[in-house]
Structure 1
Amino acid sequence: MYARPPVTGLEVDSETRCRHYHSEIDRIAIRFHCCGEYFPCFECHAAVGCGNASVWPKERFDEKAVLCGACGTELSIREYLDCVSSCPHCAAAFNPGCNLHKHLYFEV
């Protein structure tokens, strides 16, 4: 059986929601380019992460860096950016508002 990667943050639940983002559709975690660790959001990374935030460069968008909190599937950045706010594997809804923060994670 495949083990889900650990997600570090503040008050992280079983679907990767955290203290900062905890609505029903807040269910992704992002593997940060700087440290390779999964966090639910940029605020959790700022609070307990490596302190050296950097964004994923476009030439690495085929790497797995987004975790669906519903099914545990790791998505490539490209899959995530193209998915229209739902997991392409289990169809769980993702928060479309996350698009407002993509510049904090990915080169735009």
Structure 2
Amino acid sequence: MNKVYGKTIDNETRCIHYHTEKDIIAIKFQCCGKYYPCYKCHEEGEDHPISLWKLEEFDEPAILCGVCRTEHTINQYMTTDRCINCKSAFNEGCKNHYHLYFEYEKD
């Protein structure tokens, strides 16, 4: 099972920073290979800056559903609003933070 680092408040990867019903993903950070619920948790837990996932790395499994623990590739995550396995809804507001995790072109 993939370990999730940071200040989680439940077993579905919600953290002290983001903890709505839909805040159920963790992101594997490209820089350290560790799953964190959010960039704030990463900043508090690591002593290095965040490295963005590059476009050519978007087929890497880097998103973890906190409900069923299914890993999603970045491409899968960016093209859906729910888990590909258990269908739990993801927070659509996370798109506002893509620039903190992923190198990408805005629509």
TM-score (structure 1 length as normaliser): 0.93
Residues 1:44 and 2:41 aligned together: yes
Residues 1:76 and 2:36 aligned together: no
Task: Find the aligned partners of 2:7 and 2:64 in 1 and give their Cα distance.
Answer: 17
- Percent identity, aligned pairs only, is 50
Residues 1:31 and 2:5 aligned together: no
What is the CA distance between 1:89 and its match in structure 2? 1.0
What is the CA distance between 1:88 and its match in structure 2? 1.3
Q: Is the 8 A contact 1:32 1:39 kept in 2?
A: yes
Q: When the two structures are aligned, how many residues end up with a matched partner?
A: 104
Segments of 5+ residues of structure 2 without an aligned counterpart are: none
TM-score (structure 2 length as normaliser): 0.93
Q: Of the candidates 16, 28, 47, which is equivalent to residue 13 of structure 2? A: 16
Q: Of the candidates 92, 96, 103, which is equivalent to residue 96 of structure 1? A: 92
Q: Is the 8 A contact 1:65 1:76 kept in 2?
A: yes
Task: Find the aligned partners of 2:27 and 2:101 in 1 and give their Cα distance.
Answer: 8
Q: Is the 8 A contact 2:27 2:38 kept in 1?
A: yes
